[in-house]
Amino acid sequence: MATEQPDVDDSDLVRTYLRHAVTSAEADAWAFALVNQTVIASDPIRAWNLTLALINAAPDDLLGYVGAGPLEDTIDIHGATLIDKIEERAAQDRRFRFCLGGIYLAAGYLPADVEARLIRASDNVLQPYPTPRSTRDA
């Protein structure tokens, strides 16, 4: 069972999340859960700032992990709201662009204009996966 850490600053949260990504230590599992909860339940700016902190702190070999986790979730939940920030960051930060290119995005999940802008921001690396029409429309 994961240890709860309700009062933690972002630098400790980021450091522990990234350590957990490497070690899978049960003692650090709270950070994984708290990052997920924060991204899913927070306002878009809070989710964005935490995600950027993770990308900035991650060593190169963990960028895919952060991209496929917190960045992907942030975009799934807040992508339409954050698209201007996403484009701006991708234009100036190759590490962010790398993460963006690795997210798993269902075609049609976000509005078409947002999806197109995400693809362009990733230098066309991001390729949304097709979904059956019945799944998208359900």
At 55-97, the pLDDT tens digits run 999 999 999 999 999 999 999 999 999 999 999 999 999 999 9
pLDDT grade for 133, boundaries at 50, 70 and 90: low
Over 60: is that where the pLDDT of 3 sits?
A: no
- pLDDT tier, 2 (very low <50, low <70, confident <90, very high otherwise): very low
- Residue 135: pLDDT above 90? no
As a whole-number percent, the residues of the chain with pLDDT over 70 amount to 91
Return the pLDDT at 1.
46
In the numeric block, the tokens 């290119």 are attached to 101
**How many CB atoms sit inside 10 A of residue 75's CB?**
27
Helix (H) or strand (E) segment spanning residue 5: none
The predicted structure's pLDDT at residue 8:
87
**How does residue 10 score in pLDDT terms, banded at 50, 70 and 90?**
very high
Report whether pLDDT(138) > 80: no
Rounded Cα–Cα distance for residues 54 and 63 (Å): 9
Residue 43: how many other CB atoms lie within 10 Å: 10
pLDDT of residue 76: 96
Q: How far is CA 97 from CA 42, 47, 55, 89, in A?
A: 23, 17, 10, 8
Rounded-to-integer distance, Cα 37 and Cα 111, Å: 24
| Mean per-residue pLDDT, 33-38 | 96
Q: Residues 8, 34: contact at Cβ < 8 Å?
A: yes
| Buried/exposed code over 16-25 (b: 16+ C-beta within 10 A; e: otherwise) | bbbebbeeee
